[in-house]
Amino acid sequence: MVKASKGILISCDPAVKQIILNLNDRKRFIIQDLDLQHILVSPDSVQTIKFEVEKELERNTFQILD
Amino acid sequence: MDLNIIQLDQNAIQLNESFTSSLSSLLTGKHIESISKSISTSIDQLDSFATHQWEIILHFMVGNYTHTPSKGVLFLLENSNLINSSKSSHNITSNGFQFLLQDVQFQLWQLLLQYLSLSQIRQMDLVEVTSFLFILGTLELGKDYSIDSLTITQQAMLSDLRDYGLIWQRKNSSKRFYPTRLATSLTSSAPPLLPTNSSSSFTSASNNKRFIVLETNYRLYAYTSNPLQISILNLFVTLKARYPNLVIGVITRDSIRSALSNGITAEQIIGYLSSHAHSQMYRNNPLLPVTVSDQIRLWELEKNRLKADDGVLYEDFRSQPDYEILLNYANSYDCVLWSNDSKRLFFVTLQGHQIVREFVKRRLPGGTGSASTSNSNSSTLSLPT
């Protein structure tokens, strides 16, 4: 039986995908884990994911002080 | 010769005088005679007015708000997608940055074309607006023209054109207008603005265009005192110090990111830096330090590490042929964003979903399709609305 499910395809590099998987532990939004670089998530969660991923990446960047 | 149109004048061919005037009025639609025969206003005054008006617009775009242009100009800039306005602040867009890199003539036409496309919204007759712009191109600098010969629409245009610096009037209600160099050079290749003083943004000397020295340690030295250029730099450089003829700044992750978040692309920044690189920089090959240009590109990539696409995932195919038929069909419409053969999954865009769903309804349930296998007879479908 063919099934079609609506969602949002997130394409990213494996590192970002890991961050997203970790986020999913707090609040479930992943519909299906497709492969290393793709995940299907529920449509209403994209803004939160983008925001959280940005926050996480920002935490891991360091500025040169002068 | 027979029609008395051409007159031979020694070696030169001359068109008959009345024929010339009729021809030009045929081409331009209408010809406006100047009121006074002699040049009545100082050209310097017109030039400085035009330059001033134009600089206000450009300065405003780069976030220098000492003079705010009129509402009409703001409306035009917003609608041409050159700036992005929120309640309190205006941000330059990617288009706007590109716009600033062009020469004045290109900028002028881009604004006027936008003006034309907006004229219908503003209930102005496109034909009258266009013909007035062409007439402007044929007018003579420094002469005054009466507004009586203009239509009502064209008279309404005067105040807009005054804001752009194309024409000058002694008073807002004045019955005469003076075209500036911006207007008279519309259809010619002459420079639309002449440098009026040394700090003007339009000094065209080539050595003034090459003023940026960029070092591998991300430091940037700009030999300029031009406020417009400094404001442009300020969009993507953290400025540290300013001397009479030199500005020192650093390219940082934050400064580039703030430019990127306004929609300016890394390529545009690199393009700007290389087209304004100081002649000293030309001893280097490549022109810009690779570390810096690569880092700018990396910072841009970093911003787009995550891509989200709306669509529909197809799964649970009973057989490989079923999967392949549907995937090939979807592929032929170029709407497949991702597919995985071993898991028999594929993801199509929302538009693609409509097409594929129709196909599934037609082909798979009835099993009428000749290409589909026996397995597809039993295929049923559950689709979200």
Decide if B363 touches A, using CB distance below 8 A. no
The per-residue pLDDT for range B168-192, each reduced to its tens digit, is 887 777 788 888 888 877 777 666 6
pLDDT given at position B342: 86
Q: How many angstroms away from the CA of A26 is the closest CA of chain B?
A: 20
Residues of B in contact with A50 (CB under 8 A): 306, 308
Number of domains comprising chain A: 1
Within-domain flag for A1:
no
Model confidence pTM above 0.80:
no
Beta strands at B83-85 and B12-15: parallel, antiparallel or unpaired: unpaired
Do B312 and A12 lie within an 8 Å CB cutoff?
A: no
Report residue B238's pLDDT band, with 50, 70 and 90 as the boundaries: very high
Q: What is the rounded average pLDDT for all residues in chain B?
A: 78
Say if B337 is an interface residue toward chain A (CB within 8 Å). yes
Range of the structural domain that residue A47 is part of = 8-59
CATH 3.30.70.2610 placement within chain B: 311-363
Smallest CA–CA separation between A58 and chain B, in Å? 10
- Mark yes or no for CB contact B381/A4 under 8 Å: yes
Residue A65: pLDDT band (50, 70, 90) is low
More confident residue, B302 or B27: B302
Q: Give the chain A residue nearest B376 (alpha carbons).
A: A1
* pLDDT score of B54: 85
Q: What percent of chain B has pLDDT over 90?
A: 9
What are the pLDDT digits (tens) for B97-126? 888 877 777 888 888 888 888 888 878 888
A59 touches chain B (CB under 8 A): no
Please report residues of B whose CB lies closer than 8 A to that of A62: none
pLDDT-derived band at B323 (thresholds 50, 70, 90) equals confident
Residue B51 has pLDDT above 80, yes or no: yes
Indicate the pLDDT class of residue B246, thresholds 50, 70 and 90: very high
Chain A residues touching B329 at Cβ < 8 A: none
Q: What is the mean pLDDT of residues B21-43?
A: 64
Residues of A in contact with B340 (CB under 8 A): 34-35
Q: Considering the domain boundaries, does residue A33 fall inside one?
A: yes
- Count chain A–chain B contacts defined by CB atoms under 8 A: 100
Report chain B residues whose CB lies below 8 A from the CB of A13.
305
- Of residues B376 and B6, more confidently modeled: B6
Of B309, B310, B314, the CB nearest to A2: B314
Residue A5 touches partner B, C-beta closer than 8 Å: yes
Question: Which of B19-28, B280-289, B351-360, B365-374 has the least mean pLDDT?
Answer: B365-374
Q: What is the CATH number of the domain that holds A39?
A: 3.30.70.1220
User: Residue B350: closest CA among chain A residues belongs to which residue?
Assistant: A6
Q: Do B338 and A57 touch (CB under 8 A)?
A: no
B130 min Cα distance to partner chain A (Å): 45
More confident residue, B101 or B207: B101
pLDDT at B197 over 50: no
Q: Check whether B285 has a pLDDT greater than 50.
A: yes
Across B236-240, B244-248, B363-367, least confident range: B363-367
- Determine, for residues A3 and B316 on separate chains, whether the beta-carbon distance falls below 8 Å: yes
pLDDT of residue B292: 92
Averaged pLDDT for residues B59-87? 80
Nearest to B310 among A8, A50, A57 (CB): A8
Q: Which CATH architecture has domain B311-363?
A: 2-Layer Sandwich (3.30)
pLDDT of B67 strictly over 70: yes
Query: Which pLDDT score is estimated for A57?
Result: 83
Q: Do A3 and B307 touch (CB under 8 A)?
A: no
Residue A47 domain-assigned? yes
Mean pLDDT of the region A11-37: 88
C-alpha distance from B159 to closest chain A C-alpha (Å): 44
Is-cis flag, bond preceding B286, omega within 30? yes
Nearest-by-Cβ selection for A8 from B309, B317, B326? B309
Sign of the dihedral defined by the CA atoms of residues B178, B182, B183, B189, in that order: positive
Across the interface, whether the CB atoms of B347 and A57 are under 8 A apart is answered no
- Which pLDDT does position B249 carry in this prediction? 94
CB-nearest to A1 from B306, B318, B345 is: B318
Quick check: B68 pLDDT over 60? yes
In a domain, A22, yes or no: yes
Per-residue burial over B208-231, b if 16 or more Cβ lie within 10 Å, else e, is: bebbbbbeeebbbbbbbbbbbbbb
B304 touches chain A (CB under 8 A): no
From the list A7, A10, A35, the residue facing B340 with the nearest CB is A35
Which range is least confidently modeled, A14-28, B125-139, B172-186, B369-383? B369-383
